[in-house]
Every structure is written in C-alpha cells, then in structure tokens.
Amino acid sequence: MIFEEKRHIPEQMVTYWNRLRGTRKWPAAQNVRAVDAPEIWDDLFIVRIRVEEGAPKFDYIFQGKNILAASATGYSRCGKG
C-alpha cells in the first residue's frame, strides 16, 4: 500500500516546512522548490487562502503529481471521494 511505503513523508514535510518558515507562521510559496525536497515533491501541494466577500477561497498554486493523481481518481482519505 502506498501509504505504508511512504510513512516517512509526513515527517519529512514537517521538517522541510519548519526549515523554510524559520520564525514565520509559514514559508513564502517562492521558497518551496523541487530541488530542495525531491523525495517529497510529488506529495506536496501549496494553497493560497484569500477572503472574498467574507468567505475563504482556496487557490491551489501547486500540486505534486501524486496529489493530482489522487484528485483525478476522486480518492479521499476522509472517505468523501
């Protein structure tokens, strides 16, 4: 199963995220680069959150190929796909 094989990825993502953000709440999108995290790149996504007419809107500005593949199949870990 893919999740068992890639159990280490969430830990690597958190480490990468914390290294990029430093003392900020989150890293800037332009700081997230494939060359810095090739082993997790296909499993990453970047979402820009904005407020429009009082409601949050989500713009996916990057989706790794594994995220795109899961989206294309309607897969959801929450069972809603």
Domains of the chain: which residue ranges?
2-73
Residue 73: band (very low, low, confident or very high) from pLDDT cuts 50, 70, 90: confident
pLDDT at site 9: 73
Residue 53, φ and ψ in degrees, nearest 5: 55, 40
pLDDT given at position 5: 53
Sequence length of the chain is 81
| Rounded average pLDDT over 58-70 | 90
The DSSP element (H or E) to which 34 belongs, if any, is none
pLDDT at 11: 86
- What tokens appear for 35 in the block? 């060359």
Beta strands in the chain (DSSP E): 45-52, 55-63
pLDDT tens for residues 11-61? 888 999 999 999 999 888 889 999 999 989 998 988 989 999 999 999 988
